[in-house]
Amino acid sequence: MTPPEAPVTDPQGRGAGSAPAVSVCPETAPAPRIDVLRKRADFLRAAAALRQGTSGFLLQARARSPEETALPGLVRIGFTCSKKVGNSVLRNRARRRLREIARLVLPGLAQPGWDYVLVGRPEATISRDFAALQADLARALRDVHSGRAQKARPRSEPAKGRRRGKG
């Protein structure tokens, strides 16, 4: 008994005369590159701009000016959780959850040239359902970019002269 003939292939494993396999993807806008905010001044500028509250966190957002934008397709995001959220274990868990929802939602809804800060809420950021957190971020981003977000509260001026309560 003789074995069947094997088809003739080239070194890449393709049949003789066949075209290489090509992946066809529809042309879509490239996802913006995402960078992380690290400087306090960037967090303060975002806090002084737009804000949109959700059940699980607070979103602060601001459009960078053209002279600030070093890379035009760049989106920057920051994460913060105060001690009101809990001890360091709980704060880190809340930040990890915020980072993950940002990783999943921002590429589709974030606009290049914007800074976003996600602020964790006590108990809610940790205990809220993950799918609900994702939906919150998507809704908050849509509200910010459609103009429905609130302006930041004005900062009160510090008292001049002697400090109150000190003799």
Of the ranges 18-22, 28-32, 122-126, the best mean pLDDT one? 122-126
* All domains of the chain in start order, with CATH: 33-151 (3.30.230.10)
Picking from 89, 90, 104, 96, the residue whose alpha carbon sits closest to that of residue 137 is 104
Report the share of the chain in percent with pLDDT over 70: 72
**pLDDT band with cut points at 50, 70 and 90 for residue 22:** low
pLDDT of residue 73: 77
**The pTM of the whole model exceeds 0.85:** no
Has residue 14 got a pLDDT over 70?
Answer: no
pLDDT by residue (tens digit) across 113-145?
Answer: 899 999 999 999 999 999 999 999 999 999 999
pLDDT by residue (tens digit) across 85-100?
Answer: 999 999 999 999 999 9
Has residue 44 got a pLDDT over 80?
Answer: yes
Has residue 68 got a pLDDT over 70?
Answer: yes
pLDDT by residue (tens digit) across 53-67?
Answer: 999 999 999 998 887
Residues 113, 63: contact at Cβ < 8 Å? yes
pLDDT of residue 12: 61
